[in-house]
Homo-oligomer: A and B are copies of this chain.
Amino acid sequence: MKQITVYDIAKEAKVSVATVSRVLNDTAPVRASTREKIEAIMQKYQFQPNANARSLLKKETGIIGIILPDITNPFFPEVFSGAEQEGRESGHTFFLCNTTGLHDKESEFLTIMQEKRVDGILFMGGRINLKDCHPALIQEVVEHSQKIPMVLVNGNLKDSGITRVVTDEYAGTVLGVKHLIEIGHTKIGFIGGESHMSTTAVKLRAFKKTLKDAGLAVREDWILPDSFSVESGRTQMEVLLNRKDRPTAVCCVNDFTAIGAIKAAVEQGVRVPEDISIVGFDDIPLAHHVIPELTTVSQQANQLGRTAVKVLRELMNKEKIKKIYSLEPELIVRQSTRLIIE
């Protein structure tokens, strides 16, 4: 079935394509009778202008590209949701690329987005947040960001010149640890997170600093990074519980690991929060549905997505903007932590 074009419409209406375009976009006055005639014909053929042709000329696609490491982690759908809500305001739609940990997909997707001429990119990369990320790779991302407006979401690329929207993970971790200290804990462990990722590094730094500031000992043997998965939280918690000398509270790198940790505890007959307190990070939707409900630090994922798009839009409009936008995380106290009773 042949696609209807403005030419077909113009021909049937006995006008020029320019006029058709004008009624399509309402960009110049058209006599009412002409307009109606054209509109009727468009209606009749169910005319739908070809966005590719339009983009070609306007150099604008109305598309925002999103690159993220794992759509299966509920944190990201939440960010996406926020981004989409905000994108609606400006009529943007989304191109989604999920790298699923395949780091080399990142460059591939960046290239594809370039070619498709998306209006902007929201980058929630995995690879570039490796502590030992190869400079050439960073260089590549930076180069892309110079061609297309790009916002790094929760990325750590400090001096890249790329605009960033982040939650203050350091401050968030401090919040969580302080909470544990305030309710009387002195023996606190840390579970989860790939140790070569910068998130993990930041959180661990905050964790140790807070303990020291409170005059508490940092027990390296209670610090068990691994990965970000539920399984990881479970196995590391098992390790921790099998120690003769064990902490009365643990801080987890994210909610997934916290949920795994709770599971491990329950399986070993260790009660949460009576015997051990656990705090997570992210506040994924399920955090307040697990048993016990998880005390955690909210990243405000939805808000993060919204802000990122808002900032990206400013960037696209070439407005002067700050280089970094930081959202304050928030401590959500629920049931997985409680006052220590010696």
A-side residues, CB < 8 A to B, are: 1, 3, 46, 48-53, 55-56, 59, 61, 63, 71-72, 74, 76-78, 80-81, 84, 93-98, 100, 109, 111-112, 114-117, 143, 146-147, 230, 259-260, 262-263, 266, 285-286, 289-291
Instruction: Give 9 A-B contacts (CB < 8 Å), ordered by A residue.
Output: A1-B146, A52-B56, A52-B61, A52-B117, A56-B56, A93-B109, A94-B95, A95-B95, A286-B286
* Smallest Cβ-Cβ distance to A114: which chain B residue: B48
Question: Smallest Cβ distance from A5 to chain B, in angstroms?
Answer: 11
Question: Smallest Cβ distance from A286 to chain B, in angstroms?
Answer: 6
Chain multiplicity (copies): 2
In angstroms, Cα B93 to Cα A63, docked, is 13
Name the prevailing secondary structure of the A interface residues.
helix
**Known contacts A94-B95, A266-B291; A115/B74 CB under 8 A:** no
* Smallest Cβ-Cβ distance to A98: which chain B residue: B84
Please state if A93 and B97 are interface contacts (CB–CB under 8 Å). yes
Please state if A81 and B56 are interface contacts (CB–CB under 8 Å). no
Please state if B291 and A263 are interface contacts (CB–CB under 8 Å). yes
Starting from the known contacts A71-B77, A290-B291, 18 additional A-B residue pairs (CB-CB under 8 Å) come to A1-B146, A48-B115, A50-B115, A51-B117, A52-B52, A52-B56, A56-B56, A63-B95, A63-B116, A71-B71, A72-B74, A72-B285, A76-B77, A81-B100, A93-B97, A95-B95, A263-B291, A266-B291
Q: Out of B51, B80, B84, B291, name the residue touching A262 (CB < 8 Å).
A: B291
Please state if B289 and A230 are interface contacts (CB–CB under 8 Å). yes
Please state if A260 and B289 are interface contacts (CB–CB under 8 Å). yes
In angstroms, Cα B101 to Cα A243, docked, is 49
Which residues on the B side are within 8 Å of A98 (C-beta)?
A: 80-81, 84
Please state if A50 and B46 are interface contacts (CB–CB under 8 Å). no
Which residues on the B side are within 8 Å of A77 (C-beta)?
A: 71-72, 74, 76-77
In angstroms, Cα B143 to Cα A291, docked, is 47
In angstroms, Cα B46 to Cα A143, docked, is 10
Question: Smallest Cβ distance from A261 to chain B, in angstroms?
Answer: 11
Which residues on the B side are within 8 Å of A96 (C-beta)?
A: 80, 94-96
Question: Smallest Cβ distance from A106 to chain B, in angstroms?
Answer: 14
Please state if A263 and B289 are interface contacts (CB–CB under 8 Å). yes
Which residues on the B side are within 8 Å of A263 (C-beta)?
A: 289, 291
Please state if B93 and A112 are interface contacts (CB–CB under 8 Å). yes
In angstroms, Cα B51 to Cα A59, docked, is 12
In angstroms, Cα B46 to Cα A146, docked, is 13
Which residues on the B side are within 8 Å of A56 (C-beta)?
A: 50, 52-53, 56
Please state if B97 and A95 are interface contacts (CB–CB under 8 Å). no
Please state if B55 and A52 are interface contacts (CB–CB under 8 Å). yes
A-B residue pairs, 6 tightest by C-beta: A96-B96, A51-B115, A71-B77, A51-B116, A52-B55, A52-B52
